[in-house]
Structure 1
Amino acid sequence: MKLFAGCELLYDVPAPAPVVLMLRPRSGAGQWVISEEYQIEPSIPVIEYTDPYGNLCQRLMTPEGKFKIQISLVVETADAIDTAPGAPFVPVQDLPDDVLQFLLPSRYCQSDRLGALAAEITENALPGYDQVEAIRSWIQTRVTYQYGTSDASTSAVETAEKRIGVCRDFAHLGISLCRSINIPARMVVGYLHLLDPMDLHAWFEAFVDGRWYTFDATQKEPRGNRIVVAYGRDAADVALATQYGAMTLQEMRVWVEEKKVDS
């Protein structure tokens, strides 16, 4: 499906502040960026670079006053995500070098503290894809999705204890449980068609049988039509805006619509 997607951010900036934005997706597996329009008001110099995870980052100094960012995209997306029941576990010694980092505990994903829970959840699953699917299914059925029940400091351990959270928390818990049984897992943020309520979304990917597979614990069934914006170890790596000064987000608007064929 061809999607028209984007977001608009309106900030109030009391004094000039450095900020790093992460809003531009790249073409890759399951998506092709057809067109993109990136607007910043007022217009200021921007430096773009690629971070260690391959994400496109925009570095700038925000001016004092009202500051607006808007990005609009047209992206061809896959209608379904790949699934592979029975796909085998990859032994740690056989993992690619760049995948090893996604086995380690990280700021919000304390995988070293969730081994017992992961073992309990996956005890009847075949090693590999089926273990990850057991984790995804357990989170989807045992953790309540509810806005306002977590914040930017909530970790996977807290979510495992409280059994409530939002998409970011679901992803952190899934990542942590996978890593605790030596399956590499990483955070993904982006857009999902027909997400309700509409917002930027988070899910996770796990590395089995030599490749990454998508898992979304907020959804009952696998769903495609996703636009990936960024990958990382956890939310600290994939923030849409990392600010180094006082900035207040006054308004945020996100849209994902099917792009109709022009008549």
Structure 2
Amino acid sequence: MQFLVSVVTLFDEKSMMKLRATCQLDYHFSQPTPAVFLLRPQSGLAQQITQEEWQVTPLLAVTSYNDNFGNLCDRVLFQIGDYQVSLTVELYTSEWIDVAPGMPKTPIEQLPSDTMVYLLPSRYCLPEFLLQEAQMITQNFAEGYDKAAAICAYIHQNFTYQYGSSTADTTALETWQHKKGVCRDFAHLGISLSRALDMPARMVVGYLYQLDPMDLHAWYEVFIGDRWYTFDATQSAPKGGRVILGYGRDAADVAFATFFAPFELKYMKVNVEKID
């Protein structure tokens, strides 16, 4: 099934960049296999889609829905054989991310109710086991944004980004112990350390312009003051050019693809380019 969407941008293009993101996934299925994909971005405060083409080849019925976090998901029932899932999307997004040195921490009693779930332990994020570590990292920094930024910088400086160093079951505590991981592990650790200091933190997945090597990507946001701020411990400095696909408590909520039977991923390619 194919979807084409055209909308009028609501952003001031002078402060935005226009990107084209593409994703191609080739699969083989040896039995009928239900699946759910989280690959399509939505327009919102952070981005505005101008065109989208989402396709499953050979043609299959696709059912779209929004999950409990508002993410746009697509259900597919694959039959035996080879299939390609592809996305091409053009959108406007910010060239940079906002930073707020000195922004004070929001008292728990003043937090919006919909942020409270992001204070709690979740499948991969274990703040109750990382409180002392969070206090050690941030002891010389002011409450709020400065502590959150210190956590992100500490992970970037003291942990090794290494493909194959973790599995889909690796928790934030294990990442802390092993001192290495990939983007989702760094995000889980940043989330856990932030929650340990009573700052709501959530996982974000999507695409990142000029990511090296190019791949699907994960980072996190922390609620400070009256809004969410972006942090990415895989990067040496705050960086924009992000295409957001979904938000969740951790990776369990924002898997790019979930299959309910065995499958084989034969090929994968992701690309993000700047366009005029």
TM-score (norm. length: structure 1): 0.97
TM-aligned CA deviation for residue 99 of structure 1: 0.5
Q: Hey, what does 2:126 align to over in structure 1?
A: 110
Query: Distance in 1 between the 2:58 and 2:183 partners?
Result: 32
Query: Which residue among 93, 96, 101 is the counterpart of 2:117?
Result: 101
Q: Which one of the candidate residues 50, 75, 89 is aligned to 2:91?
A: 75
Deviation readout 1:53-112 (Å, 9 max, x if unpaired): 110011121111101100001011101100000111111111111100000001111111
Task: Provide Cα deviations, 1:33-72, integer angstroms capped at 9, x if missing partner.
Answer: 1100001011111111101111001112111110110000
Deviation (angstroms), 1:125: 1.0
Q: Which amino acid aligns with 2:188?
A: H
Is the aligned partner of 1:89 residue 2:105?
yes
Candidates 118, 135, 138, aligned match of 1:122: 138
* Superposition deviation, residue 29 in structure 1: 2.2
Structure 2 segments unaligned to the other structure (5+ residues): 1-16
- C-alpha distance in 2, partners of 1:105/1:131? 19
- 2:81 maps to 65
1:170 corresponds to 2:186: yes
Aligned residue number for residue 225 of structure 1: 241
> Secondary structure at the residue paired with 2:105?
coil
1:191 is displaced (CA, Å) by 0.7
Q: Which amino acid aligns with 1:207?
A: F
* Counterpart residue number, 2:251: 235
1:196 aligns with 2:220: no
Aligned partner of 2:166: which letter?
Answer: S
Shift of 1:6: 1.7
* C-alpha distance after superposition, 1:226-260 (max 9, x if no partner): 1011110001111111111111111110000111x
2:166 equivalent in structure 1: 150
Kindly provide the amino acid, as one letter, of the partner of residue 206 in structure 1: V
Provide the C-alpha distance between the structure 2 equivalents of 1:30 and 1:49, rounded to a whole number of angstroms. Answer: 20
Residue number in structure 1 paired with 2:5 = none
Q: CA deviation at 1:129?
A: 0.5
Q: Which string of whole-angstrom CA distances, capped at 9 and with x for unpartnered residues, describes residues 132-191 of structure 1?
A: 001000000000111111111111001101100111110000000000110000000111
Correspondence 1:246-261 to 2 at 5 A: 246-259=262-275, 261=276
| Sequence identity (%) | 50
After TM superposition, the runs of 4+ consecutive aligned structure 1 residues lying more than 4 A away are none
Letter in 2 for 1:20: V
Aligned equivalents of 1:60 and 1:220: distance in 2?
Answer: 38
Q: Does 1:184 align with 2:200?
A: yes
Q: Which residue of 1 aligns with 2:225?
A: 209
Counterpart secondary structure, 1:108 = coil
> Is 1:16–2:32 an aligned residue pair?
yes
Using structure 2 for the length normalisation, give the TM-score.
0.93
In structure 2, how many angstroms separate the alpha carbons of the residues matched to 1:68 and 1:5?
Answer: 17
2:14: which partner in 1?
A: none
Alpha-carbon distance in 1 for matches of 2:234, 2:200:
20
Residue 131 of structure 1 deviates from its aligned partner by 0.7
* Residues 200-231 of structure 1, C-alpha deviations (whole Å, 9 max, x = no match): 11100000001000001011111111101111
**Cα RMSD over matched residues?**
0.8
Letter in 2 for 1:96: P
- Corresponding residue SS for 1:135: helix
